[in-house]
Amino acid sequence: MRITDYTEGLAHIGIPTKDMMESLIFYTELGFDVVHTTTDPKDGSVVNFLQLGNLMLEVYECSEAHMCHGAIEHFAISVNDIEGAYDFICSRGINTLNDEIHFLPFWDNGVKYFTIEGPNKEKVEFAQRL
């Protein structure tokens, strides 16, 4: 087995913001469309998914956004089998955050995801829309 048996490509890039309206104005001026708006059930913060062609951004409210170069918080890889991808990552010993599979009620049927950390402290999320 290889991880490519489970992956489909880039799902989204996660960008924290302290000012959602400013971010929405900026990205819509660049041609992005808001394709999904929701709130995070953990803290009630607003989350917007914006799309331009095949590029998806997840822009979410975060009072602790770093507001500096390199502040993209994570990128997500779309998977077709979250449990298979999780088992693969764990079997290789690279579940560096000892994360588990989580569920969020985003999109129509929700999303399952887990996150690992890369060698440069970047977060790599594996996500499956249900």
Q: What is the pLDDT of residues 63-82, one digit of tens each?
A: 888 887 777 889 999 999 99
Question: CB within 8 A of 55, min separation 6: which ones?
Answer: 10, 13
pLDDT at site 63: 83
Assigned token pair, 93: 């010993």
pTM, entire model: 0.83
Domains assigned to the chain = 3-129 (3.10.180.10)
What's the DSSP call for residue 130? -
